Chains A and B, each alone.
Chain A
């Protein structure tokens, strides 16, 4: 028998490495952020004891038992959500199909423009469309009456109107999702049909549609879940007309005096349960059937020649962008320069006073600064945090990976408003007084944007060939060295894209901020909402424009900077 040389010290196999420590810390922090508010939300919903006393003096299901009394609200929510989802899918599908499968002119520009509605935000859209379509004072209706019509042509405050505004802005999300599905379809599947003589229409109906159906279904479920938790359009358009959906009802219950926290919590928990279910179904649908391979390989889909018809399609796409971006902004500008906004102002109705007043207000000055700083912090910390999490989920050998993934995706199932409600309730009793400060907003943003960051960065990591890292391992590089020398440089473009995405998301955030915003920590979008409800529309329009302009400039600067940085990486 050969007696071998003494083995290398076994210690290296068992030592707690830096990798494990970092991971453990991140997991614990994530669990805390995500689950702590949920616990308090549930606790509040079961509170049937003395009002305004904490901790609850008695527990029970009475709050849930009271929910059927609000069945109109539930019904409203369902109606608006369904209609909005269908509309958004139509917008998204049409534009995705037009821009990926036809030879529409200006395809690349249009595709870029399709993401702009996301930046315009549903809130601004709601404000503008309220100005356009309020039954009495809406510009469109005023025009209608001037032309001899009776009554109101459109009513933005109706459920249809609310759904319209929601769909207009969520449509761009549907577009991105469905576009991705279409781009990942192997064109040879359609070519095979054409070769045996199927017409273009037949190919589309019998081959294309069934193949993209699961992906579209997935997008539909996702959009539906988002719409359920949607807040801004219903707040601006519905509340004045006494039309409530669950989210605005929760907001109302919480902000009225005296507030009815337990009932709001019960509503929040129900909404959360439904959304959780939907997202569970979404994951089952998208993970099971992969008719379409999402291998990170993007196919070049076959483009159909539409002849002269492509100009019609061009017009359709342009129309969408007009309705969701150009028209709202123009309306806001038009209103902000009037003393009393009407469709046909007289010469003496024009003024710049609104801008002058707006610039003197807290809401404009401190809110903008806060939002930008908060955006910077959230994006930077967020990318670090979600990058680490995405790596752990995708590439590590941690035993609890699956659980971590569910934990991270959890906030997606909770409407932002409800989550913020839980946070508000949770952090109020936290021994360190961070409630109402900047920091609680930061924590809230980081938590609700976890899914966004992890999803984006996971996508980038998936495209990274595993062997690149393994080779580094075999060459003798430690985890840290590999991270620095191989992983991060290769991921850089993706990381920068995620940074920008999180920055934009945090600046346009409403649902969570509106409840957690403290007197000293005003942020942009809720400040605009507050202005809407406590000052004149013209002043609000001026404020919204100033804020959007400043943020827009900041974003363009960042986009340019990140683009340059990602090019340098080579």
Chain B
């Protein structure tokens, strides 16, 4: 199962220097050949190819999208899609990643199959869902534009619809220039006592940061951080909201996407790109099994995978995710994912096995239960 080494070398060669150190997902020793669209006719609609039957999709007229993203984000995606396909009405339901998963599983075990497309913010969740047969295997014609490591194994269950990464952010009015953090070690400074915020243990992004910084700086890193009694919240909007207003001075898990959004609103905040790299987390999206609107679902996923959808994910202020598409346009601020040094777990099994330890330590740190 662990062909990690071979593959890491291969992907590094494929990427520009200083680029993505994103982990590959555990691959089978036998490389699954991507059968293009599994024998479905491929049509071109607008400017992208799709394996869905557009006429049937329009006849279905609607679909249901489960996502972890915030409400404005979800509403925004669906609005953009409906501009392209006015006959298809997309509805969303938003919940925290963990809650989303529990609810979906509960529904399905009760025989309730109402979701068409589902998006998670943690690979562990997506894998679990895949194991339970939650996805429909649909190989989109768009998969050609994605590297293998950014797709599910086997291909067709889900894909990386975006990548979010986080650095440090601080309030410029509350923090003197000389105290401003520059590297990860700086978040341990005692001046941040009762003034730092992070995400809760439910966040996949937070899990990655914990894992990666522990790898870089050892087990004691977070124990030091715990002494600062940081506050934990559910969404990045909350973190930046408090930062912008000065309720907290520093955000130790500052997602770039959140920073951009609040900076636009005129918040007095600054973003720091630590030299040792930024933890990154991928968002995973796929068509659900027994989707009640199968064609509309496939059309939506194809749209998401295409440049149209991806550019939306990159540019919508509530999203601002980086795209892993091989031919993606730059993000706002004219940066590309590969311009950043990103940290992500390479050994997925080890990573996922440490979930419990993370939960315990993180919950205890945040004064949760």
Binding site for B on A (CB under 8 A): 70, 134-137, 240-242, 244, 249, 252-253, 255-260, 263, 339-342, 348-349, 357, 360-363, 428, 433, 435-436, 518-520, 530-531, 533-537, 539
Contact = CB atoms under 8 A, between A and B. Distances in A.
Given A242-B229, A349-B266, A534-B71, A257 B99 contact: yes
Interface of B: 66, 70-72, 75, 79, 91-99, 101-103, 106-107, 110-112, 114, 174, 200-202, 229, 231, 233-235, 237-238, 241-242, 244-248, 262, 265-267, 359, 363, 366-369
Given A534-B234, A534-B237, A136 B72 contact: no
A252 B202 CA distance: 11
Nearest to B248: A136
Contacts of B229: 242
Nearest to A157: B247
A135 B245 CA distance: 11
14 contacts: A136-B174, A242-B367, A244-B367, A256-B363, A256-B368, A340-B244, A342-B245, A362-B71, A363-B71, A433-B110, A436-B103, A436-B106, A519-B95, A531-B71
Contacts, number: 120
B266 A537 contact: no
A519 B66 contact: yes
B265 A339 contact: yes
Contact of A535 (B97, B98, B200, B237): B237
Given A252-B368, A533-B235, A539 B72 contact: yes
Contacts of B114: 520
B267 A340 contact: yes
Contacts of B242: 137, 240
Contact of A137 (B94, B202, B246, B363): B246
Contacts of A342: 245
B200 A256 contact: yes
B231 A241 contact: yes
A363 B79 CA distance: 15
A255 B245 contact: no
A253 B369 contact: yes
A70 B369 contact: yes
Contact of A135 (B103, B231, B234, B247): B247
B367 A533 contact: no
A232 B154 CA distance: 46
A71 to B, nearest CB: 13
Given A256-B200, A360-B79, A537 B241 contact: yes
Contact of A136 (B92, B96, B98, B245): B245
A519 B244 CA distance: 31
A349 B244 CA distance: 14
A535 B70 contact: yes
A95 B369 CA distance: 40
A357 B245 contact: no
Q: In the complex, which of the residues A70, A137, A253, A363 has the most CB atoms of chain B within 10 Å of its own CB atom?
A: A137
A258 B359 contact: yes
Nearest to B195: A136
Nearest to B232: A242
A256 B99 CA distance: 8
B72 A519 contact: no
Nearest to A543: B71
Given A137-B247, A436-B106, A519-B93, A361 B369 contact: no
A382 B255 CA distance: 48
Nearest to B79: A360
